[in-house]
Amino acid sequence: MANVTHRILLVEDDASLGRQIVKSMEEAGFEPTWLTDGDAAMRESPRAFALIVLDLMLPGAYGLDILKHIRAAGNSVPVLILSARNETRDKVRALELGADDFVTKPFFPEELIARIRARIRRPSLEAGGLVRAGGLEVDLAARSVKVDGETVELTRVEFDLLAALARRPGAAVARSWLADNVLDPDREGTERTLDVHVSRLRRKLGASGKCVATVWGVGYRLAEASE
Amino acid sequence: MRLRARLALTVLAAAAPLLAGVAWLRGDLERRDADRALREFALVRMESGGRDRCEADPAFFAITASPLPRAPDVGGRPVVELGGGSSDLPAPLPPVPPEGGAPADVATGAATGPVTQLWAYADDLTSMNPRAPAPPDELVATLRSGGDAAGAAYVAAGGSGRQVLVRTPWRGGPCAFVFVRRIDPAPGEFASFPIWSAVALVAAMVGVVAFAAGSVVRRIRKLTADVGRSADQRYASPVDERGADEISDLARAFNAAGHEIRGHLDDMARREETLRTFLANTTHDVMTPLAVLQGHLSAMRKQAAEGRPADAETATAAVEEAHYLGSLVHNLSAVAKLDAGPRQVHLAPMRVDEVVQRVVERHWPLASPRAIEIECAVPEEPVWFDADVTLFEQAVSNVVGNAVRYNRAGGHVAVLLEEPSATEFSIRVIDDGPGVSDEALAKLGSREYRTDEARRRNPEGSGLGLDIARRVASFHRVKLSFRKSEYGGLEVEFRGVRSPAPRISAA
Ligand SMILES: Nc1ncnc2c1ncn2[C@@H]1O[C@H](COP(=O)(O)OP(=O)(O)OP(=O)(O)O)[C@@H](O)[C@H]1O
Ligand SMILES: [Mg+2]
């Protein structure tokens, strides 16, 4: 994912804020296009971008009109709304018009980048079938797991556990959720049983076992081995 | 005055046709009376000898009598009876001698008083007496079409009165019809209408109305003055509404409206006051962290100017301060929204999982410089809840913010969105910081509580955070509970009932 450069359209009329956002987007490895004017944004083709960051208060076309325009054209590019008003009405309206998320001002650049990453990552997940993390390769459709190319035999519970993490790579999954959804409900599906399964799974995965990371207070996550 | 004039005019407009109607009715009755009297007179006269005389000598038959005959008992009255212009006729009625023994003529009678004249006509309504007048056509027409008698007004230079054409019961011969005419020399009594008494009556009515209206006008004027006074006092005092008529109703209606206006005014004043205190508090609350932030920034600029790298501690403090400022402003606006009442709260289907993720991501910049790990987990499927997303997110944010802020370096914060039952959702915010004492724990959910240690450790905290969380939770019927976490710190839980997924297709 790191070697693909995503183009991002930023529509923000404030010069200082715009400059800062552009800088942090570039640092995060994105390729931003910055427009300060709503009417100019109306003329831009949304298809060229992986994501659009839209300020609500803009000179020219109002942010929501641009959103309406994009969605009316049948384009489903993720749209992230920036808003200073923190008004529920605006947010609800934006979501109704097809916005994907909103970030309320003030925000730290890290927060915005995190939001953008979360939105860009999502579609590749849904396409999913094959998930890679470190030397680990999980084929969700075929229900097979390879470590450094070698197939590893897993029990049903172990595979379901790994698959549950692999479906959302990088995201933590609660132990309670895993216990409820992965463990056999007939046999006591407690969280302690879950921990036992996880340690067995880790052992089977060998060096890639650390890809199944423990998340404090939460549960487990499929992480890049380098972490 | 305008009202009075209007009422007087109304009375006039109503009285004039009324009086005219009464006058006409009275005249009509009088005319009928007179006509009947004339008919009776004619028939009595003809039956008591008149017919015989007429049939004997129709060319000369005529009767002139004076004064006015009344009722059928003509015989009891002095009547002058003359032949139609000639005196050689025998006196027909025994008790009536020719007046003054001399022939009197119509003109003489006319000069002294009313005169009644009578002529006879044959079947074809022609008279053998050449001096008999032709009866008016309308009367002839009425009798021809079968009537027994018909009367009409008589107007001439010498006087006016009534004239009646009568069919006799014997219906034949030269005297089948009689035509009677009564002439009043002066303006006819029948036509005369008491103009002056009518004028006096109308004037009296107008006067009475004007007088009666006086009290109404006075009360309306008083009400007007009262209303003006009440308005001057911003509707604080009601107007006098005693009485049970329409004016009292008006006063009551005004009082009701005034009461409502007063309510609005009070409401506005209250809101203005709230806004003023809010502004004052906000200014005060915001200025302190802003000053701290400025201090940090100025220190960093100095370090840069001296060619030193900015020290991480100052930078982190600046980040924390800026973060705190942001959440403070959001908290203040949340308080304003909650204070403004439920109408300002905008409920809509909300993705709880997205709220949790946003809140956690917002706290990364705060947690990471202090090596605090903050993580969250949400179910695979969306979790929906009807809420005001701004308020709800702020409530969760305050709890998560506390877990980060009151944590120690290297600590952990976990935020878990779970579905503990088929209908519920639960957000648990768990930390492994120092936590709170047992007694402080018991009070955490109550309003404006802030532990002493916290005040010492972080004196710029405003104590709004949990208060807002508590109010938002109760508004949304979400249970907010505090307990010690299994890791030693605090565990805060929001637990509510999930809503069904809305039927809007997500893009
Ligand atoms: N996770 C926690 N760990 C330890 N103490 C906490 C925690 N959460 C809350 N407290 C205590 O509860 C008090 C009240 O918290 P609250 O959020 O209402 O106010 P505040 O944080 O002091 O001010 P504000 O949130 O308005 O900036 C805090 O001052 C702190 O002492
Ligand atoms: Mg707080």
Q: What is the pLDDT of residues B260-310, one digit of tens each?
A: 999 999 889 988 887 788 778 778 778 888 898 999 999 999 999 999 888
Q: Which of B325, B386, B416 is best to mutate for the A interface (most A CBs within 10 A)?
A: B416
Query: pLDDT, tens digit, for every residue of B126-140?
Result: 888 888 888 888 888
B454 lines ligand 1 (CB under 6 A): yes
Please check whether residues A40 and A104 belong to one and the same domain.
yes
Q: What are all long-range contacts of B265-274, with beta carbons under 8 Å and residues at least 24 apart?
A: B265/B234, B265/B235, B271/B340, B274/B336, B274/B339, B274/B340
Cα–Cα distances in Å, from B76 out to A29, B113, B175, B184, B485? 141, 18, 25, 21, 134
**pLDDT above 80 for B449:** no
**pLDDT above 80 for B142:** yes
**pLDDT above 60 for B104:** no
Please check whether residues A16 and A105 belong to one and the same domain.
yes
Asked, for residue A82, whether it belongs to a domain, the answer is: yes
Q: Is A201 left (phi over 0), alpha (psi -120 to 50) or beta?
A: alpha
Q: Cβ–Cβ of B377/A100 closer than 8 Å? A: no
Q: Cβ–Cβ of A176/B416 closer than 8 Å? A: yes
Look up residue B36 and give its two tokens. 């009947």
Count structural domains, chain A: 2
d(CA B16, CA A221): 104
**pLDDT above 60 for A103:** yes
Residue A14 distance to chain B (closest CA, Å) = 18
d(CA B271, CA A154): 66
Q: Which residue of A has its CA nearest to B381?
A: A177
Please check whether residues A115 and A135 belong to one and the same domain.
no
Chain centroid, CA B278 distance in Å: 41
Using the Cα atoms of residue B159, residue B165, residue B166 and residue B170 in order, give the sign of their dihedral: positive
Atom of ligand 1 nearest to the CA of B429: 1
How does strand A7-11 pair with strand A51-55? Answer: parallel
Q: Which residue of B has its CA nearest to A167?
A: B380
* pLDDT for the residue numbered A225: 55
Asked, for residue A15, whether it belongs to a domain, the answer is: yes
For A:30-69, CB contacts with B below 8 A are none
CATH number for the domain spanning A171: value is 1.10.10.10
- The answer to whether the CB of A12 falls within 8 A of the CB of A21 is yes
Please check whether residues A165 and A184 belong to one and the same domain.
yes
Give the range of the structural domain holding residue A175, as residue numbers without chain letter. Answer: 125-222
Q: Cβ–Cβ of B354/A101 closer than 8 Å? A: yes
* pLDDT for the residue numbered B80: 44
Full strand arrangement of the beta sheet holding B412-418: A212-215, A219-222, A172-174, B373-377, B412-418, B424-431, B490-497, B479-484
- The answer to whether the CB of B122 falls within 8 A of the CB of B173 is yes
CATH number for the domain spanning A53: value is 3.40.50.2300
Q: Cβ–Cβ of B361/A115 closer than 8 Å? A: yes
Specify the residue with its C-alpha closest to ligand 1, atom 13. B450
> For B449-462, what is the mean pLDDT?
49
Q: Cβ–Cβ of A167/B362 closer than 8 Å? A: no
Q: Is B416 helix (H, G, I), strand (E, B) or coil?
A: strand
> For B49-57, what is the mean pLDDT?
87
B456 versus B248: the higher-pLDDT residue is B248
Asked, for residue A58, whether it belongs to a domain, the answer is: yes
**pLDDT above 70 for B106:** no
**Closest in B348, B362, B416 to A111, CB measured:** B362
Q: Which of A121, A149, A181 is the last residue of a domain?
A: A121
d(CA A177, CA A191): 9
Specify the residue with its C-alpha closest to ligand 1, atom 9. B402
Single out the residue of A76, A44, A75 nearest to residue A61, CA to CA: A44
Kindly list the domain boundaries of chain B, sorted by start residue: 3-184, 345-507
Specify the residue with its C-alpha closest to ligand 1, atom 10. B402
Calculate how far, in angstroms, residue B463's C-alpha sits from the geometric centre of ligand 1.
7
Query: pLDDT, tens digit, for every residue of B311-352?
Result: 888 998 999 899 999 998 899 889 888 888 888 899 999 999
Instruction: Identify which of B332, B406, B494 to mutate to test ligand 1's pocket (most ligand atoms within 8 A of the CB).
Output: B406
The pLDDT mean for chain B works out to 83
How does strand B479-484 pair with strand A136-139? Answer: unpaired
Please check whether residues A153 and A111 belong to one and the same domain.
no
Q: Is A81 left (phi over 0), alpha (psi -120 to 50) or beta?
A: beta
Taking CB atoms and an 8 Å cut-off, how many pairs form between chains A and B?
93
Question: B159: which strand partners?
Answer: B156
**Closest in B319, B322, B376 to A172, CB measured:** B376
Single out the residue of B489, B481, B474, B472 nearest to residue B405, CA to CA: B489
- The answer to whether the CB of A171 falls within 8 A of the CB of A114 is no
Please check whether residues A111 and A141 belong to one and the same domain.
no
Angle between the N-to-C axes of helices B389-405 and B312-339, in degrees from 0 to 180, rounded to the nearest 10:
140
Q: Which of A98, A121, A144 is the last residue of a domain?
A: A121
B403 lines ligand 1 (CB under 6 A): yes
**pLDDT above 50 for A13:** yes
Instruction: Identify which of B372, B450, B472 to mutate to test ligand 1's pocket (most ligand atoms within 8 A of the CB).
Output: B450
**Closest in B364, B379, B412 to A110, CB measured:** B364
Which residue is associated with the tokens 């009876």?
B81
Please check whether residues A116 and A11 belong to one and the same domain.
yes
**R_g of chain B computed on alpha carbons:** 57
Single out the residue of B63, B65, B75, B68 nearest to residue B33, CA to CA: B68
3-state secondary structure A150-179: EEECCCHHHHHHHHHHHCCCCCEEEHHHHH
Quick one: DSSP state of residue B135?
Answer: P
* pLDDT for the residue numbered B214: 82
B82 versus B422: the higher-pLDDT residue is B422
Q: How many CB atoms lie within 10 A of CB A20?
A: 14
Query: pLDDT, tens digit, for every residue of A21-78?
Result: 999 999 999 999 999 988 888 888 888 899 999 998 877 778 888 999 999 988 889 9
Please check whether residues A19 and A58 belong to one and the same domain.
yes
Single out the residue of B119, B122, B125 nearest to residue B144, CA to CA: B125
Which range has highest mean pLDDT (B74-83, B219-228, B421-430)? B421-430
Q: Cβ–Cβ of B416/A110 closer than 8 Å? A: no
- The answer to whether the CB of B431 falls within 8 A of the CB of B487 is yes
Residue A148 distance to chain B (closest CA, Å) = 28
- The answer to whether the CB of B365 falls within 8 A of the CB of A103 is no
Q: Cβ–Cβ of B414/A118 closer than 8 Å? A: no
A185 and chain B in contact, CB less than 8 A: no
Calculate how far, in angstroms, residue B441's C-alpha sits from the geometric centre of ligand 2.
14
Full strand arrangement of the beta sheet holding A101-104: A31-35, A7-11, A51-55, A79-83, A101-104
Q: Which residues contact A117 (CB under 8 A, 6 or more apart)?
A: A28
Provide the terminal-to-terminal Cα distance of chain B, rounded to the nearest Å: 73
Please check whether residues A116 and A158 belong to one and the same domain.
no
Q: Which of A97, A121, A145 is the last residue of a domain?
A: A121
* pLDDT for the residue numbered A152: 94
Q: In this structure, what are the phi and psi dihedrals at residue A131, rounded to the nearest 5 degrees?
A: -125, 130
Can you list the alpha helix ranges (DSSP code H) found in A97-128?
Answer: 109-127
Atom of ligand 1 nearest to the CA of B466: 18
* pLDDT for the residue numbered B92: 43
* pLDDT for the residue numbered A215: 96
Looking at this protein, which amino acid is placed at residue A126?
A: E
**pLDDT above 80 for B454:** no
Beta strands in B320-404 (DSSP E): 348-351, 373-377, 384-387
Q: What is the pTM of this model?
A: 0.68
Query: pLDDT, tens digit, for every residue of A105-157?
Result: 999 999 999 999 988 865 555 455 788 888 899 999 899 999 999 999 999 99
d(CA B45, CA B123): 19
* pLDDT for the residue numbered A130: 85
Query: pLDDT, tens digit, for every residue of B250-262?
Result: 899 999 999 999 9
For B345-507, the fitting CATH number among 3.30.420.240, 2.170.190.11, 1.10.150.120, 3.30.565.10 is 3.30.565.10
Please check whether residues A114 and A142 belong to one and the same domain.
no
pLDDT band of residue B247 (cuts 50, 70, 90) is confident
Please check whether residues A133 and A116 belong to one and the same domain.
no
A218 and chain B in contact, CB less than 8 A: yes
Q: Which of A71, A86, A173 is best to mutate for the B interface (most B CBs within 10 A)?
A: A86
Q: How many CB atoms lie within 10 A of CB B171?
A: 9
| Residue B236 CA neighbour count, 13 Å, CB half | 3
Asked, for residue A186, whether it belongs to a domain, the answer is: yes
Determine whether B210 is exposed, middle or buried from the number of CB atoms within 10 Å of its CB (0-12, 13-18, 19+): middle
A-chain CB neighbours of B322 within 8 Å are 106, 108
Residue A152 distance to chain B (closest CA, Å) = 26
Please check whether residues A143 and A172 belong to one and the same domain.
yes
> For B91-116, what is the mean pLDDT?
48
The fraction of chain B above a pLDDT of 90, given in percent, is: 32
Looking at this protein, which amino acid is placed at residue A169?
A: P
Looking at this protein, which amino acid is placed at residue B296?
A: H
A216 and chain B in contact, CB less than 8 A: yes
B482 lines ligand 1 (CB under 6 A): no
B433 lines ligand 1 (CB under 6 A): yes
**pLDDT above 80 for B225:** yes
B464 lines ligand 1 (CB under 6 A): yes
Instruction: Identify which of B402, B438, B481 to mutate to test ligand 1's pocket (most ligand atoms within 8 A of the CB).
Output: B402
> For B446-464, what is the mean pLDDT?
54
- The answer to whether the CB of B38 falls within 8 A of the CB of B152 is no
pLDDT band of residue B447 (cuts 50, 70, 90) is low
pLDDT band of residue B452 (cuts 50, 70, 90) is very low
Nearest bound ligand to the CA of residue B470: 1
Query: pLDDT, tens digit, for every residue of A155-168?
Result: 999 999 999 999 98
A-chain CB neighbours of B426 within 8 Å are none
